[in-house]
Chain A
């Protein structure tokens, strides 16, 4: 009975979030205390479950042998769950200050807290059916956050968001049906659960369905050709762009693909077949398109969104190598990118609320006016480019090492794609930094920058804490790598 506690981090936000909406708060401070209490409690619950209930199978509802709602925390859930659970309170703190410049805070925090539960549901689900369920719920829970501004642009983005997600879901559903038909159970089990007696003779159909499902889950992970929703959705408030569209939603797409590839299908059926080549080629194309478009875009938030697209595909590329090392380095990049990109988005949001500036040309010369924000932006920007010894370098290096060891011609091509992308990343990050620190004299003349200053303590403290985290995990990645390798070694 105790093990039902595993459910708490999933259900608790669901139950409590409506209080935020319904309760008539006297003032903003009380609402903030209420919200942060819920989030922190849920983080503690999540960490508690992760520490205590590993490998405990909790069956909630059983419809049939294959179709049941069940939860289990394994190594992969641990990584994803911990990452999400730790970043959520940080983003909430940041959002308090950020959202005081926007309207309808109560609604915002309602759905924000609800998404927490749904994401934990994705992390903790024990089989394909449960994951699919929460995966779909995540779309609907985050939709109100995307259209939060309630203006034409936001509705347009929301419409696009839901069309893309629904088409992805349709494709993923095919995969779900096939897995129900062809495997011993839908539970996740490292190495796959396919029933090879049934599979015999139908290998190519299964591989085809795998590619379709990859595409379906790939919609959330913004893989080519279904990535356009992500830059459009950057109209949402910055905490949403930062946490959901750089970490929770998009990484749950990558998470689902890892589950599909390593835990449901297993790499045996797919490795060195045309299916692997296709799913390996798609991220590579995405990496190139994402970094090129990022360089071309002058709107900083959208530029970072494109950068997210290309970085997510680093993870997918690494995962699609279908080796133990590939999975481990993909997970490493997942964690590194989460911390780095969330900080970069926070900095951009801070610039936006403090100055209302959104384009690279507009931020010329404000680097020294906002020392904390731009200092953190610089450190994390270096991490994103992959300047040794900052965080991004090790993950990219490990991805390259695993690509070489995979002995796959496309993987070799992948190394060159990584290098080209690193160069493009350097260009699109450094142009921002150079504009901020070394302005062209004509760009700043006749502009009044005297009001530009760092934001309040809630924002700066969050950003500094995250930056320090990124530096620490960048300097000492060995324990992280050890954990990821031990997860992946159960192949």
Chain B
């Protein structure tokens, strides 16, 4: 099957290569570029589709040092078909959406590059491959976020990049330690390795590090901050890609960790579950308050990611009986992608026509547009978990898995209150989902529009091209197909992915439309209705001057993790800590210099000099005593001569030793002078001989610092001048030290 294996490389590298070709075409002809992009994504979709049904492997040794490994089949196939489908739809839609945009070439280039990188992540069979494509994807998608180049977009882009870079680095460290511990990066080998480990404590830490980057990309609490900022500011087709596929690359990483490395691990599962629960509720809660169409959808994505994480957590907790949880997780991934794409493209339709997203301004715009209305309604019903639509199936499975675990706990005799709470949060989040989606739907498609908008509306009834309409219809129909034939379509998708999740097939077919399963949906719908009528329509809407009811943004501006924790820590705390450390280092050198120099002086003056003097005088007296009293007077003449010579030489030695430090100092000065002399002389010679310069002035040597830029960046100047002084003094001390040691060595 050699051709087929190459197919995997084709799937990854073909879009990246065609990104460059597309860029070149776009320079010449814009229309041809758009068609080219559609053809590329369509070809990619076909390639992916044909690769999806037979599992294959491909290892390219030597590429990127450690070699990269691809694998298809199972969950990977599902994800990659999904990604290719979303990409195809979004690209078809882009034609119209970007019709009046500038720098479209850039968009298409990075869009295609991101497609290749995303496929690389989904196909990867080892962490190294995942990491490479994950990083490429982070950077290429960053440009998509910033595409509009408005102030908000730039800001959101920076947040996204910061989270991606820091997350990526932490993941890298985690992978590094995992690699060091196990000696392999391949998922299957890691899985085998981990099953033989008794004490998992250090591995939890490594796992958490690896998780950070993936969780950040998925948008899990508390690393979700970039998501509600970045998704709304990106162009709608890009938002759809970010929300539907890129978050799933993060989920893919979490899945790898939870099903391969921490397989059936209850503690890990509990951690993921709690993270997921918080994300799920937080997203829904934020979405209820939002009055911006795309921001609501972004928050909704956050919430749905929470649902998926709950599923992943549950399949860890349930261990070998995780069939329902695993199925729910996979199906919710699929559902969320398809539904959220539909909704984002609807939002894109609204935006490309009236360039507004504020609910108060777009109110009633969709009243007389049945197609858009129906498609959006499909999305609403799908994501709200209404029976007969897609979302219901997956949410039911997820809910069932929580109930199953509660039953299991009560059977064993443990208390299950935590899971009861989680079950209720789950149902409430489901209710909130319905509430905020209803809010959007009512605002855009039911309420009466302000007069101005209405006029615009009538004059231009053609708001969609045929291609875009086709895309929307496709998405809308798919949601119903998923919901109406749960066992035929969704069951199969789930079964395909089971091997990846290490779960067994379900013991019996789930009766989705039995009362037991419908009960959860009914509770959620009741909560949703209560929230919508009791909270949104009363507390979140006020009357404006003209007596019309408008949506108000009551969410306090200051209440944001990003503003209160992350930005202060990253922008203030860390730099000042770093600055403090560098400052301490610099001043410690100041200190060392200021202490050592006087100390050396004191030591010489107080200790070494007197002790030398003392020794010398003792020697002198001893010699005198020897000469005068002990030696035989009969040798008096010789003794006299000897006495004279000895006393003279002793005196000489005495003075020599006394002055040795002075001498050292003088030599040092001479050496320094010598080098300065060499330097000056060299410059003079060079100048005279070759360049006819008559004289050099050192006077102006500091003047360049008066340059306007230096005074503006005063920090720079301060740092450099200080550093220079310190380094010079230190190097001179070391130089002196070197000379002294060399001399001492030569003397001894």
Contact = CB atoms under 8 A, between A and B. Distances in A.
Contacts of B158: 434
Contacts of A359: 709, 713
Interface stretch (A55-63, A74-82, A165-173): A165-173
Most chain A Cβ neighbours within 10 Å, of B165, B579, B731, B738: B731
Contacts of B745: 174, 177
B424 interface: no
A198 interface: no
A289 B582 contact: yes
Most chain B Cβ neighbours within 10 Å, of A155, A225, A231: A225
B731 A164 contact: yes
A226 B727 contact: yes
Given A226-B731, A228-B728, A389-B132, A166 B675 contact: yes
Contacts of A225: 589, 726-727, 730-731
Interface string B133-146: 00110010000001
Contacts of B641: none
B690 A155 contact: no
Contacts of A227: 727
Given A167-B738, A173-B738, A159 B686 contact: no
Nearest to A285: B585
Interface residues of B, number: 70
Contacts of A177: 742, 745
Interface string B577-598: 0110110010001000000000
A423 B165 contact: yes
B169 interface: yes
Interface residues of A, number: 74
Nearest to A161: B679
Interface string A279-302: 000000100110011001111000
Interface stretch (A93-101, A312-320, A476-484): A476-484
A299 to B, nearest CB: 7
A438 B149 contact: yes
Contacts of B713: 298, 359
A202 to B, nearest CB: 12
A397 interface: yes
Contacts, number: 166
B550 interface: no
B631 to A, nearest CB: 41
B161 interface: yes
A155 B704 CA distance: 12
B582 A292 contact: yes
Interface in A434-491: 434, 438, 440-441, 474-478, 481
B165 A426 contact: yes
B739 interface: yes
Interface in A339-354: none
Contacts of B656: none
A232 B716 CA distance: 13
A150 interface: yes
Nearest to B63: A475
A214 to B, nearest CB: 12
B134 to A, nearest CB: 9
A250 interface: no
B131 interface: yes
A102 interface: no
A194 interface: no
B683 interface: yes
A246 interface: no
Interface in B690-748: 690-691, 693, 696-704, 709, 713, 715-716, 719-720, 723-724, 726-728, 730-732, 734-735, 737-739, 741-742, 745
Interface string B548-581: 0000000000000000000000000000001101
Question: Considering the complex of A and B, which 8 residue pairs feature the smallest CB-CB distances, nearest first?
Answer: A167-B735, A389-B64, A228-B727, A170-B738, A152-B700, A152-B701, A388-B132, A153-B704
Interface of B: 62-65, 128, 131-132, 135-136, 139, 146, 149, 151, 154, 157-158, 161, 165-166, 169, 172-173, 176, 180, 578-579, 581-582, 585, 589, 675, 679, 682-683, 686-687, 690-691, 693, 696-704, 709, 713, 715-716, 719-720, 723-724, 726-728, 730-732, 734-735, 737-739, 741-742, 745
29 contacts: A21-B690, A143-B682, A144-B686, A152-B697, A166-B735, A168-B731, A173-B738, A174-B745, A177-B745, A212-B737, A212-B741, A219-B731, A228-B723, A228-B724, A293-B719, A299-B709, A387-B139, A388-B135, A394-B65, A401-B180, A404-B176, A419-B172, A423-B165, A423-B166, A426-B169, A430-B161, A438-B154, A441-B151, A478-B62
Interface of A: 21, 104, 107, 140, 143-144, 147, 150-153, 155-156, 158-160, 162-164, 166-168, 170-171, 173-174, 177, 212, 215-216, 219, 225-228, 231-232, 285, 288-289, 292-293, 296-299, 358-359, 382, 387-389, 394, 397, 400-401, 404-405, 415, 419, 422-423, 426, 430, 434, 438, 440-441, 474-478, 481
